[in-house]
Amino acid sequence: MNKIKSILSALCIGLIAAATPVLAAEAGPEIKKEPWSFAGLFGTYDQNQLQRGFQVFREVCSSCHGARLIAFRNLSESGGPEFTEGQVKALAAEYSIADISAEGGTRTAVPADRWPSPFANDLEAAEANGGIAPPDLSVMAKARNTSQPFPWWLLNYVTPYAEGGPDYIHALLTGYEDEVPEGTHNSDGTPFELPEGKYYNHYFPGHAIGMPPPLSDGLVTYAEAENGTAVPMTVDQYSRDFAAFAMWMAEPHLVARKESGLQVMVFLIVLAGIMYVVKRRLWAKVEH
């Protein structure tokens, strides 16, 4: 009986700990959990996917969005897209960086430089994008999340679910609609009207997004693999690849973190077992 009570009360307090997620007010369609390669305890990035995601980022996203926390050198680090150092050097050399100490104020980028922003500053970025600067993408995959209804979010602590950001990004990029679907209402019940210069998106809070649909089928040309297999060049695939790349930008050391996590867990469980045995033997002599 006491055991049951103990477990119940521990559960209770665990429940408070789990009560964090905000209940979605702007209830759009529920965002699906995608099967990411980097999910779960043994998750690792798919290097090819990160390279494709980088290609999408570079050819599409980076014309409006910055990624100020990413350095060129990160692209060759282990656990990431793992381009060769030569590739990264050549890539960096294609960009010029503002540098007041250089002649003329700019110089060619080197691997140690951060990814150059497409605009000189936020004002200029806002000016060119209908009044709102496109957000930086460095930690975007952790700055967005999905929500599940009670009691399903409790599962997130057990699985553990840390891919809400990529799920949201994938949903957003595939969630555009040419026309406002019939019968769309605002949260207060009035009919939904799309403001001038906005686009309809199923998953964007409030549905009216300033970013035009960035992707279309065939927009980015993926290289064919040596054995001739080709990755589909569809909006869904691009979104998936970019979402994975965004996760890598936000968590470049995710693979190493999970690997050490496994070691730590094994260590702690074994240590706890040993401690328990020692504790039991010590207390065996005491009636308690």
Partner 1 sequence: MAHESSYVPGNAVEKWVDERLPIVRFAKEHLVDFPTPKNLNYWWTFGGILAFMLVVQIVTGIILAMHYTPHVAMAFDSVEHIRRDVNGGRIIQAVHAVGASMFFFAVYIHMFRGLYFGSYKAPREILWILGVLLFVLMVTTAFMGYVLPWGQMSFWAATVITNIVAAIPVVGDPILQLLRGGFAVDNATLNRFFSLHYLLPFVIAAVVGLHVWALHIPGNNNPVGVDVKSTRDTVPFHPYYTMKDLFAIVVFCIPFAWFVFFAPDLLGHADNYIMANSQVTPAHIVPEWYFLPFYAILRAIDFNILFIDSKLGGVIFFAGSLLVLFFVPWLDTSKVRSGSFRPVFKWFYWLFIVNFVMLAYLGASAADGNVLGIPVADFSKICTVYYFAYFIVILPLLGRFEVPRPLPPSISESVLKHDAAHAAQATH
For partner 1, give the closer residue by CB, 41 or 123: 41
The pair of structure tokens assigned to 257 is 């973190």
For partner 1, give the closer residue by CB, 18 or 233: 18
For partner 1, give the closer residue by CB, 138 or 237: 138
Min dist. Cβ of residue 151 to partner 1 (A): 11
Min dist. Cβ of residue 121 to partner 1 (A): 13
**Helix, strand, coil tally for the chain in percent (to 5):** 45, 5, 50
Where does this chain bind partner 1 (CB under 8 A)?
6, 9-10, 12-13, 15-23, 25-26, 41, 68-69, 74, 135, 138-140, 142-145, 156-157, 160-162, 164-165, 205, 250, 252-253, 257-258, 260-262, 264-265, 268-269, 271-272, 275-276, 278-279, 282-283, 286-288
Question: What's the DSSP call for residue 33?
Answer: P
Min dist. Cβ of residue 17 to partner 1 (A): 6
State residue 54 phi and psi, 5-degree precision. -60, -40
For partner 1, give the closer residue by CB, 137 or 235: 137
The Cα 199–Cα 172 span in angstroms is 12
The Cα 79–Cα 174 span in angstroms is 27
Strand arrangement, sheet containing 199-201: 176-177, 199-201, 208-209
The Cα 5–Cα 11 span in angstroms is 10
For partner 1, give the closer residue by CB, 190 or 221: 190
Contacts of 35 by beta carbon, 8 Å cutoff, 6+ apart: none
For partner 1, give the closer residue by CB, 185 or 288: 288
Peptide bond into 151 cis (omega under 30): yes
Long-range (24+ apart) CB contacts under 8 A made by 180-184 are: 180/207
Min dist. Cβ of residue 203 to partner 1 (A): 14
Min dist. Cβ of residue 279 to partner 1 (A): 5
Rounded (5°) CA angle 124-100-91? 75
For partner 1, give the closer residue by CB, 31 or 215: 31
The pair of structure tokens assigned to 142 is 């952790």
Min dist. Cβ of residue 167 to partner 1 (A): 12
Min dist. Cβ of residue 70 to partner 1 (A): 9
